[in-house]
Chains A and B, each alone.
Chain A
Amino acid sequence: MAEKKPLIKEFTKGIVKENPVLCLVLGTCPTLAVTTGVSSALGMGVAATVVLVCSNAVISALRKVIPGKVRIPAYITIIAAFVTIVQMLVKAYAPSLNDALGVYLPLIVVNCIILGRAEMFASKNKVLPSVLDGLGMGIGFTAALFLMGSIREILGAGTWLGLNIPIISSNPILIFILPPGGFFVFGMLIAIANKLNNKTVQPEEVGCAGCPMSDKCSKVKGEECAE
């Protein structure tokens, strides 16, 4: 029983407290790109979650086998393998989702959340906590995408999962679906998350904490990246 509480924490921390998108600000590219609609946002979230859970499990199981020096290429290979599997599954069973996500589906490989969790969590923990961590982070990612997708689709297209929303659907605010709307909604959501967390914001808070290259990166940006 003593073990159980931390395990649940590994799961829940990713959803709210350390939400990868809104608090750690990782994986911004897909967040902005696929949230023009709820269905593509959900599809992206689920695909990334599957990759995250599987890669976390395998990397954690192999953590004592992979030599430290080549760990990043090894992680990338493992992640790329799972992304390829997910890509083939989506192509076979959900071709419309494949069209909606386009090139962003293979780009899950370079999503900082996945490599970041591999480096920061799975490489140091046992399989079960790693899987829970991956699941929690994945659900947090999906939830953030779902929220952004909902806001942008309702305001920008006047629909929600294809359902017409009265009043707005006759006069949608098109710019919310266009790229500037993505930046704007994302900025506002982070501002709200900051307000709710009541944290004093450091001026430079881009998602470098999970970046596997942060040791090299710190040369570029001084101490900003030292977590």
Chain B
Amino acid sequence: MSFTNLVGIFLAAILTENYILVKFFGICPFLGVSKKLNTALGMSAAVTFVMVLATAVTWPIYTYLLVPNELDYLQTIVFILVIAGLVQLVEIVMKKYMPPLYNALGIYLPLITTNCAVLGVTMLVLDKGASDASFGYVASLVNAFGAGIGFLVAMIMFAGVRERLENCDIPKSLQGLPITLVAAALVACSFLGFSGIVDKLLV
């Protein structure tokens, strides 16, 4: 797999396959934590970190442990437990050795266990690997990193939109969540414009 291909995978994960706005993974943190810019940043940094780490661990487990032993039907249960354990481990290690990083990301980590974006990315890269043999470990990691960055981009863009929304005069029934979703629809529209833009790099 050439470098151009990896760049293509990275860009596709951010723009055309954006995990929030195109694939609808991780809508809960997207709606819940995007109100302020700094919490949005912390959350997405933690998600990116866990996504890459989870993919780095689950990919070998699936490929070298589950598939040879014909246990691939246990994928769901193994992955969710691995991710939950991993998040717990990262939290403990961070608390002990990297207090500044823990203070910045730590509070978001427990929330990520039940975030479908993380479980989603670990499963989707395996699906891609199944249909295209050249989509190996490195490509999976690049894809996971791109997905995290895409998450970050969407969160930051949307935090900006929501700060503007605060000052608007919104009809009563639409206040709160409904207007947020309508705003999300418009942001998602802008990402539709990217469709097809990266396809040439992938071939």
By a beta-carbon cutoff of 8 Å, the part of chain A in contact with chain B is 25, 28-30, 32-33, 73, 76-77, 80-81, 83-84, 87-88, 102-103, 106-107, 109-112, 115, 175, 178-184, 186-188, 190-192, 194-195, 201-208, 211-213, 216-217, 219-221
Contact = CB atoms under 8 A, between A and B. Distances in A.
B174 interface: yes
Interface stretch (B53-61, B112-120, B142-150): B112-120
Contact of A188 (B24, B111, B114, B178): B178
Contacts of B114: 110, 112, 115, 211-213
A205 B43 CA distance: 19
A212 B191 CA distance: 32
Given A184-B182, A220-B39, A220-B107, A80 B76 contact: yes
A181 B21 CA distance: 11
Interface residues on B, range: 35 or more
Contacts of A178: 188, 192
Interface in B173-203: 173-182, 184-186, 188-189, 191-192
B154 to A, nearest CB: 11
Contacts of B35: 204, 221
A188 B74 CA distance: 39
Interface stretch (B26-34, B62-70, B92-100): B26-34
B158 to A, nearest CB: 11
A213 to B, nearest CB: 5
Nearest to B36: A221
A187 B80 contact: no
Interface of B: 21-28, 31-33, 35, 39, 43, 73-77, 80-81, 84, 107-108, 110-111, 113-116, 119-120, 123-124, 127, 172-182, 184-186, 188-189, 191-192
Contacts of A30: 24
A168 to B, nearest CB: 20
A103 B79 CA distance: 13
Contacts of A220: 33, 39, 43, 107-108, 111
A72 to B, nearest CB: 8
A220 B103 CA distance: 12
B184 A109 contact: no
B111 A217 contact: yes
Given A103-B124, A103-B127, A216 B111 contact: yes
A175 to B, nearest CB: 8
Contacts of B179: 187
A118 B3 CA distance: 46
A52 to B, nearest CB: 15
Question: Which 4 residue pairs across A and B have the least CB separation, nearest first?
Answer: A187-B181, A183-B185, A191-B178, A80-B77
